[in-house]
């Protein structure tokens, strides 16, 4: 709701303030993580939940349930935004729901790819953005990095801001299948028509839903390959400390024995 409402304010007021939209989305996601972090881990993205499943942090059942809840929440939040700004949307587009053109309002609900962007460019855009997000999330939630749970949503906010200013020029930085599918279903329901699915021969409909899963899997794998395998577990560190302590005790004992023999 907060994210799509930020889009609505930016479009309907003609502000064209990208940083305002970025901050609105980042704060909404961060506050959501704060609110639900102690209950479910604050999962809001099926692709990131998939990465957690691959890492063994959640079961396949939880992944499926989280994904359904995320899509449902995105649908409900976008629907509230539509009714909240119903009069403003009608004033802007004259009551004719459009996905392209100067009076297009589809951007309130979902980002739309630039005209110059090829299909391969769309795929790579979604892959890279979600990989960056998964890398950041897996990194700061790894207990071995000792980032306190209360601080993790703050790190998430800054991660979202960084990713948003890096990868939103091509296609708006979807990187979340729930954030795409839920609002698209709302757009279809409230009059934008089948074009929300059939644009570019259905290819753009499929890319933001499926490609982020591959990107998230790669991001999680790359974190473990580049950083995770080099971080010692607390248990391993304790064993190392115990061995060092035992070696020190042995050296002291041997030293005392030699002194006693010498005497």
pLDDT at position 253 is 54
pLDDT at position 240 is 43
Which phi and psi (to 5°) does residue 225 adopt? -75, -40
Same domain, 164 and 126: yes
Same domain, 18 and 120: yes
Collect all residues with Cβ–Cβ distance below 8 Å to 230 and sequence separation of at least 6.
none
Same domain, 69 and 93: yes
Same domain, 208 and 255: no
What global pTM score does this model have?
A: 0.85
Same domain, 249 and 145: no
Same domain, 241 and 211: no
pLDDT at position 255 is 54
> What is the arithmetic mean of pLDDT over 32-38?
85
Contact 211, 171 (CB under 8 A): no
Contact 105, 98 (CB under 8 A): yes
Q: In the chain, pLDDT over 70 holds for what percent of residues?
A: 89
Average pLDDT score, the chain = 87
Collect all residues with Cβ–Cβ distance below 8 Å to 135 and sequence separation of at least 6.
219, 220, 222, 223
pLDDT at position 1 is 86
For residue 91, give its domain range: 2-231
pLDDT at position 115 is 87
Query: Taking the CA atoms of the chain, what radius of gyration do you get in angstroms?
Result: 24
Residue 69 has pLDDT above 90, yes or no: yes
Residue 168 and residue 192: Cα distance in Å, rounded?
23
210-246 pLDDT, tens digit each: 999 999 999 999 999 999 898 887 654 444 444 545 5
> What is the arithmetic mean of pLDDT over 142-165?
92
Same domain, 8 and 102: yes
> What is the arithmetic mean of pLDDT over 137-153?
92
**Residue ranges with strand state E in the chain:** none
């Amino acid at each position: 709701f907060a994210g799509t409402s930020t889009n609505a304010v930016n479009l309907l007021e003609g502000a064209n303030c990208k940083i305002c939209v970025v901050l609105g989305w980042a704060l909404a996601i961060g506050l959501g993580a704060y609110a639900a972090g102690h209950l479910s881990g604050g999962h809001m993205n099926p692709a990131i939940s998939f990465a957690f499943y691959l890492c063994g942090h959640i079961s396949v059942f939880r992944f499926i349930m989280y994904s359904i809840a995320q899509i449902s929440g995105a649908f409900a939040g976008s629907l509230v935004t539509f009714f909240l700004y119903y009069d403003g949307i009608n004033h802007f587009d004259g009551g004719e729901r459009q996905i392209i053109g100067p009076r297009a309002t589809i951007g309130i609900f979902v980002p739309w790819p630039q005209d110059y962007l090829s299909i391969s460019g769309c795929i790579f855009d979604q892959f890279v953005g979600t990989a960056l997000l998964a890398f950041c999330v897996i990194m700061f939630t790894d207990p071995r990095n000792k980032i306190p749970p209360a601080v993790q949503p703050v790190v998430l906010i800054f991660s979202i801001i960084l990713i948003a200013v890096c990868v939103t020029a091509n296609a708006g930085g979807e990187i979340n299948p729930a954030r795409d599918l839920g609002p698209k279903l709302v757009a279809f329901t409230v009059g934008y028509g089948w074009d929300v699915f059939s644009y570019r021969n259905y290819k753009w409909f499929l890319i933001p839903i499926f490609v982020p899963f591959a990107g998230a899997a790669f991001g999680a794998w790359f974190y473990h390959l580049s950083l995770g395998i080099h971080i010692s577990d607390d248990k391993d560190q304790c064993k190392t400390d115990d061995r060092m302590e035992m070696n020190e005790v042995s050296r002291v004992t041997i030293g005392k024995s030699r002194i006693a023999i010498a005497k």
